[in-house]
Amino acid sequence: MRSDRLPHNKIIFSGTVGAGKSTAIAALSDVLPISTEAMASDAAAQLKKTTTVAMDYGILILQSGEKVMLYGTPGQERFNFMWDILSEGGIGLVLLINNTTPDPLHHLEKYLHAFKRFISDTAVAIGITHMDRSQMPSIIDYRSRLAHIGLSPPPAVFRVDARRRDDVAMVVKALLYTLNPGLIDA
Amino acid sequence: MTDKRSETSLPIHLFLIEVSGMDARLIGLSLERHMKGRVQLTNDLTHAQAALIDFDRRGAEQALQRLPPGMQLGVVGYALNPKEFTNKFAGIPIIGKPLNLENLWAALTRAINEPPTPSSSAAPDTPPPSALETPKTLGDSIDTEEGIELCGVFDDLPVTRTENLPEKLFFDPDDYLVGQLFRAVVKSQASQRPLAVAGLYRLIRVVLKPVPQCVTAFRETRLRPISMTQLPPATTRIVYDPGSQDLTGTEIAFATEDILWNVAAWAARGRLPLGSDPYRQVCLKSWPNFTRTFVPPHALRIAALWVRGYASPIDIASKLAIPQRYVFSFYTAAHFAGLLLYEPLALAAKTSQPDLQTPPPPVHAPPVKRPSLLARILKKLLNAV
ipTM of the complex in this document:
0.86
Length of chain B: 385
Banded model confidence at residue B365, pLDDT cuts 50, 70, 90:
very low
Q: What percent of chain B has pLDDT over 90?
A: 29
How many CB atoms are closer than 10 A to CB B190? 8
CB B157 within 8 A of CB B327: no
Banded model confidence at residue B115, pLDDT cuts 50, 70, 90:
low
More confident of the two residues B72 and B165: B165
Structure letter (DSSP) for residue A40: -
Cβ distance A185 to B379 less than 8 Å, yes or no, reads yes
Q: Which of B82, B98, B330 is nearest to B224 (CA)?
A: B98
Q: Which of A157, A124, A181 is nearest to B298 (CA)?
A: A181
Q: Distance between CA atoms of A84 and A88, rounded to whole angstroms? A: 6
CB B380 within 8 A of CB B336: no
Q: Which helix (H) or strand (E) holds A97?
A: strand A90-98
Q: Distance between CA atoms of B337 and A102, rounded to whole angstroms? A: 29
CB A154 within 8 A of CB A143: yes
Is B298's Cβ below 8 Å from some Cβ in A?
no
Q: Which of A30-39, A176-185, B311-320, B334-343 has the lowest mean pLDDT?
A: A30-39
Q: In one letter, which amino acid is B207?
A: V
Q: Distance between CA atoms of A140 and A146, rounded to whole angstroms? A: 10
pLDDT of residue B157: 84
Residues on chain A touching B365 (C-beta within 8 angstroms): 182
Cα-based torsion angle of the residue sequence B296, B298, B304, B309 in order, rounded to the nearest 10 degrees: -90
What are the C-alpha distances in Å from B28 to residues B34, B110, B155, B245? 10, 21, 30, 29
Q: What percent of chain A has pLDDT over 70?
A: 78
User: Is residue B345 pLDDT above 50, yes or no?
Assistant: yes
Q: Which helix (H) or strand (E) holds B180?
A: helix B177-191
Is B356's Cβ below 8 Å from some Cβ in A?
no
Closest CB to B371: pick one of A62, A155, A183: A183
From chain A residues 97-126, the ones with a CB under 8 A of any chain B CB are none
Q: In one letter, which amino acid is B296?
A: P
Chain A / chain B CB contacts < 8 angstroms: 144
pLDDT of residue B89: 83
3 state SS of B144: coil
Q: Distance between CA atoms of B105 and B49, rounded to whole angstroms? A: 13
User: Is residue B276 pLDDT above 50, yes or no?
Assistant: yes
User: Is residue A52 pLDDT above 80, yes or no?
Assistant: no
pLDDT of residue A37: 62
Q: Partners of B283 in the beta sheet?
A: B341
Give the global pTM: 0.71
CB A28 within 8 A of CB A70: yes
Cβ distance B286 to A9 less than 8 Å, yes or no, reads no
